[in-house]
Amino acid sequence: MSESSSGTAASAPAAAGGANKTAADARFLRIENLVKEFDSVVAVDKVSIDIRKGEIFALLGSSGCGKSTLLRMLAGFETPTSGRILLDGRDIAQIPPYERPINMMFQSYALFPHLSVWDNVAFGLRRAGLPKDQVADQVEKMLGLVQLKQFAKRKPHQLSGGQQQRVALARSLAKRPQLLLLDEPLGALDKKLRERTQLELVGIIESVGVTCVMVTHDQEEAMTMASRIAIMSEGRILQIGAPAEIYETPNCRFVADFIGNVNLFKGKVVEDAADHVIVDTPECRHYVGHGITGTEGMEVSVAIRPEKIRITRERPGGAHDGFNCVEAEVADLAYLGSYTIYHLKLATGLLVKASIASVERLPDWQPTWGDKVFASWDEYAMVVLTQ
């Protein structure tokens, strides 16, 4: 990707300069070394992210990690302690919230209780001084988009949670913002409705084509909705990547642990080659089929996802006999329909989780409580974490 670009490239016609345009699009929203301190608490700590034009970007992290604070700085409700925010090449730090081309959908919607659905959606358009007929057109369009036309006259408290959520979405999209911010967009909905709404929301956002930054602490929601995810912890960004990238190649123990389930084996690197490493842990020797940036003798963790573990009755043979295999006892199991989770107790006392998909309806053999089994995995199933 070309780094040479000019700030005006994004507004130039598409044919004018393909490379420049894509470069500018790739950092449509640029967050540079953003810091926010509250008294002594550092809520956001040197965060830098580039967000592409038109993508849905998710900030994912546990409660109190600074997601909302970061989002509120984008909206203009908090002033950064230091750092810059560039939207389409323009520094927006000094622009008050009511002049930013950015709209936000609030965590609990913050719909105006004294205004009807129609007036809620029209609120922003009226402030922009649009003529009456244009306001009406745009409101009708937005209500159509979220399928709430028949509720236009109702007050927010006369709507269900899901309907309120859609009013909030319509209201934040009505002014055609350059950037849409969603703070826990589905946090107030129950689980079933949430799953249905996730894809619906993505559909609406993509049909409008707006760039979107969302905040969530629900990893499933982030993975379903976002094209890229940033994992946050204690105000810092730990990793940015596509959902699959973050799941399959987490770059540190926190991310591995935070996204999905993971088994961690702590040990030392005993052999460090270009195409493989061997890690010794008290439980077993690991043959890892890729190189790492590290040295022999280094303390590392080997991470293995539960679904990548096989359970067999006999010790499996194969290319790397003696590696990547442990003897274990089934301590517990939970049948969850599409898969079964096994808790395997190793000789060292470590508990390993394995999930086995229910591929066959009535398999020949199923491990059960107290069974002595072998758990094994292949050389590409592991990620070596150095942090």
Partner 1 sequence: MNKLLARLMPNNPGRAVVIGVPYLWLVLFFLLPFLIVLKISVSEMNVGQPPFKPLTEMVDNFLNIRVYLGNFISLFDVANDDLYARTYLSSLKYAAWTTIFCLVIGFPFAYFMARARPTIRPALLMLVMMPFWTSFLLRVYAWKAILTTNGVFNQILIGLGIIGEPLHMLHTPFSLMIGMVYVYLPFMILPLYANLVKLDGRLLEAAADLGATPWQRFWLVTVPLSKSGIIAGSMLVFIPCVGEFVIPELLGGPETLMIGRVLWDELFSNNDWPRAAAVAVVTILLIIVPLAIFNKYQAESQGERT
Ligand X SMILES: Nc1ncnc2c1ncn2[C@@H]1O[C@H](COP(=O)(O)OP(=O)(O)OP(=O)(O)O)[C@@H](O)[C@H]1O
Our finding on whether 68 is near ligand X (CB under 6 A) is yes
Nearest to 70 by CA among 185, 215, 212: 215
Q: Mask of contacts with partner 1, 64-93, x by CB under 8 A?
A: -----------xxx----------------
Name the burial class of residue 310, with classes exposed (0-12), middle (13-18) and buried (19+) by CB atoms within 10 angstroms of its CB: middle
Residue 387 per-residue DSSP state? -
Our finding on whether 38 is near ligand X (CB under 6 A) is yes
Q: Which stretch binds ligand X (CB under 6 A): 65-73, 115-123, 195-203, 293-301?
A: 65-73
Q: Mask of contacts with partner 1, 27-66, x by CB under 8 A?
A: ----------------------------------------
Residue 100 in 3-state DSSP? Answer: coil
> Are 115 and 90 contacting, i.e. CB atoms less than 8 angstroms apart?
no
Our finding on whether 68 is near Mg ion (CB under 5 A) is yes
The binder of 317, among partner 1, ligand X, Mg ion, none, by C-beta within 5 to 8 A per type, is: none
Integer Cα distance of 229 and 244 in angstroms:
10
Inter-CA distances, 379 with 5, 245, 267, 275, Å: 42, 18, 16, 11
Q: Which residue's Cβ has the minimum distance to ligand X?
A: 68
Query: Of how many residues is the chain composed?
Result: 387
DSSP secondary structure string for all residues of 328-346? EEEEEEEE-SSEEEEEEEE
4, 40, 63, 94: which one binds ligand X (CB under 6 A): 63
The binder of 65, among partner 1, Mg ion, ligand X, none, by C-beta within 5 to 8 A per type, is: ligand X
Integer Cα distance of 297 and 287 in angstroms:
15
7, 8, 11, 64: which one binds ligand X (CB under 6 A): 64
* Window 190 to 219, contacts with ligand X (CB under 6 A): 217
The binder of 347, among Mg ion, partner 1, ligand X, none, by C-beta within 5 to 8 A per type, is: none
DSSP secondary structure string for all residues of 76-107? TSS--SEEEEEETTEE-TTS-GGGSSEEEEBT
Beta bridge partners of residue 183, listed in sequence order:
215
Q: Which is nearer to ligand X, 143 or 189 (CB)?
A: 189
Q: Which residues bind ligand X (CB under 6 A)?
A: 38, 41, 43, 61, 63-69, 217
Q: Residues interacting with partner 1, by CB under 8 A?
A: 75-77, 96-99, 102-104, 106-108, 110-114, 123-124, 127-128, 155, 157, 171-172, 175
